[in-house]
Amino acid sequence: MNSPQLDKCEKLGAHLSAPSRMLRDKNLVPLSRQHQHALALCVRLDRALQAGDVDGEAWSEEIRQIFALEVATHFAAEEKVVFPVAAAFPNLHPLVEDLLADHVNLRELFTRATATTLDVNSLRSFVDQLSSHIRKEERQLFEGLQQVMTPDEFSRVGKALEEVLADASTACILPNEATRLRPRT
C-alpha cells in the first residue's frame, strides 16, 4: 500500500516525464523512478531560481537529504551494475566514461551541499548538471542498452540492481515551504 507521500512523489514524477515518456525495460524502471524524483527536485529548484526566490539553506538541506536517501545508492548501482555492462559494448563505452565523469562532478556538488549552504550559482550548476546527466542516462544509455541487450542479459542486470538497491530508501522527500513547487511566472 502506497503512502500519501509516495503517491504525491509518483504523481509529480509521472507529470514531469509524461511528455517524453519512453518505453523502458522493466529491469531499468527502478533507476528511472529515481531519475524522476531527482528531476522533480530540479524542476522545483529551477522555478525558484527563475523567480529569484531561493533559500539556499533550505535547498542545500533538501539536496543533502536526497543524496543520503537515494542518490548515493543510485550512483553505486549504476557504477557497479549498469556501467560495466554498458562499457562492454564499444558504441556505449565513451558514453559510460562521460557518465562516470558526471558522477564525480555531481558528487562534488552533493558534498558541497553537505558541508555548507550552496549559493545561487552553485544551485544553478546543480540543476543544469543533474538534469543533463539524467537525460543522458535515459535517452542515450538506457535506450542504447535496450538496442543491444537480450532479455536474458536484462534479467541478470535487473537481479543485480535489485540486490544493490535493496538498501535504498523508499522514502520520498516532500518539499518544505521554501522548496515547494512554484507556479511559473
**pLDDT digit string (tens) for 1-29?**
344 444 444 444 444 443 344 589 999 99
CA end-to-end span of the chain: 36
Alpha helices in the chain (DSSP H): 4-17, 29-51, 56-66, 72-77, 83-87, 93-115, 120-136, 143-148, 151-165
Of 38, 37, 83, 59, which Cα lies nearest the Cα of 179? 59
- Percent of the chain scoring above 90 in pLDDT: 61
Determine if residue 135 is left, alpha or beta; phi over 0 gives left, psi from -120 to 50 gives alpha, anything else beta: alpha
The pLDDT of residue 42:
95
Predicted TM-score of the model (pTM): 0.80
For residue 89, the SS3 value is: coil
Q: What are 106-128's pLDDT values in tens digits?
A: 999 889 888 887 899 999 999 99
The whole-number pLDDT of residue 2 equals 42
Q: What residue ranges of the chain have pLDDT lower than 70?
A: 1-22, 168-185
